[in-house]
Structure 1
């Protein structure tokens, strides 16, 4: 029996990335016999709140929290949007999904290596994440990550090297429980990647203290507390201060 490890990242590219100190890769470990149940639960979220299943439906943390995309009809109802997010993230407990995450502090990385390692931030976070789940959780693991056109080829090579002799971007440990290569997929086709996105987005909101309204702060606290309860691996960002 194996776990499918779904991976998504936040904080490296796109709007607002420069305001985020951390590049974070989040992983959710879904037991193979619960993959279909995860997809069904996410479809239920759509039916419960949208009353239909939109074409190419997927759950995005940013869209739900801010009331954009298919969630725009609820933009003026933050309480409803929080309800949607909490219903979706509840699958961590309901389906016994474990979490791991690894973060690279971009400014400290830049200072430590004079900018020469900036382009390796994603691969460093991926290496640290894989080493965490290899040690932290038992059983075989299959890696499925959100599409990363800039990093995919190098990531596939690095995973193979880690499996063969433990050689990553920095000296590391040989991966013993990760089987096969790392597979990159479009998030809309993978509820597991969508769940990883929900985890990553909530963590970034908490770490960056983006919320000021008491209800929003309380909600993001509940969500990240649930994430924390499902996380059994170490959590400090690298490099250390």
Structure 2
């Protein structure tokens, strides 16, 4: 049995050219170990491991000094925390990673790119679960009620009829529905958030980037971890992998 914790990075015209949907695929044993490590980090930085909004590791908030990290003026301290979280994410060798990256501005019609990303994501997860002959359960961040309800309906439809298009995929290994909870109540969703946030950081970087904090994080993740080596992914409208 595998649990698939996933999150999104929203498309913002003129600011964020990509829409990401990605996540981590873990066993119960992985969850046990990862939660224990994150509890230690939470105790160090927040003084408690209890899950509340005030103890949430949200990657964008760390980077931009928001919410729980508003007073963190030192960029090296913020980079160090992101590195510690990335090291934990990379610490379990059997944790798989999958993502879909949609480029809405290259689509003829971009009104349903989040639905399309979810369909592609379920296909990639199904392909991975087949390869290890295991059922899997999707768990997402309950941030947007409309999207949450639509994803649940879409998964039910895909499980019954297969995904769309002529060469659609039968979803034989994803079970039940899509379960949603608040990210501040799940360390695993916080790792999924970290994963997709790091992806967008990588995709939006270039050789002329002068942001020192971004470069410190990207250099570490690229050099010291395998986070940027996904198990399954699709960049659309480019070719799938």
Superposition TM-score, scaled by structure 2 size: 0.84
Deviation of 1:166 (Å): 0.6
CA shift in 2, pair 1:167/1:203, >3 Å: closer
Deviation of 1:155 (Å): 1.4
Equivalent position to 2:118, from 91, 113, 126:
126
TM-superposition CA deviations, 1:27-63 (whole Å, max 9, x none) = 1112112223322222221222344457432110101
TM-superposition CA deviations, 1:2-40 (whole Å, max 9, x none) = 11100100023xxx5641111100111121122233222
Equivalent-residue separation in structure 1 for 2:113 and 2:219 (angstroms):
27
Structure 1 residues 133-144: aligned runs within 5 Å: 133-137=125-129, 138=132, 139-144=134-139
CA shift in 2, pair 1:37/1:119, >3 Å: same
Q: CA RMSD in A?
A: 2.3
Corresponding residue number in structure 1 for 2:75: 78
Do the aligned partners of 1:8 and 1:193 also contact (CA within 8 Å) in 2? yes
Do the aligned partners of 1:162 and 1:172 also contact (CA within 8 Å) in 2? no
Equivalent position to 2:201, from 195, 198, 205:
205
1:179 is paired with a residue whose SS is: coil
1:89 is paired with a residue whose SS is: helix
Superposition TM-score, scaled by structure 1 size: 0.84
CA shift in 2, pair 1:215/1:65, >3 Å: closer
Give the count of matched residue pairs: 228
Equivalent-residue separation in structure 2 for 1:196 and 1:168 (angstroms):
26
CA shift in 2, pair 1:84/1:103, >3 Å: same
TM-superposition CA deviations, 1:97-120 (whole Å, max 9, x none) = 2210001111012xx23xxxx331
Equivalent position to 2:28, from 28, 32, 36:
32
Equivalent-residue separation in structure 2 for 1:184 and 1:94 (angstroms):
25
CA shift in 2, pair 1:60/1:199, >3 Å: same
2:168 is paired with a residue whose SS is: coil
Equivalent-residue separation in structure 2 for 1:179 and 1:43 (angstroms):
29
Do the aligned partners of 2:126 and 2:171 also contact (CA within 8 Å) in 1? yes
Do the aligned partners of 1:158 and 1:169 also contact (CA within 8 Å) in 2? no
CA shift in 2, pair 1:119/1:169, >3 Å: farther
Do the aligned partners of 1:145 and 1:193 also contact (CA within 8 Å) in 2? yes
TM-superposition CA deviations, 1:76-128 (whole Å, max 9, x none) = 2111111111111222222232210001111012xx23xxxx33111111111
Do the aligned partners of 1:100 and 1:133 also contact (CA within 8 Å) in 2? yes
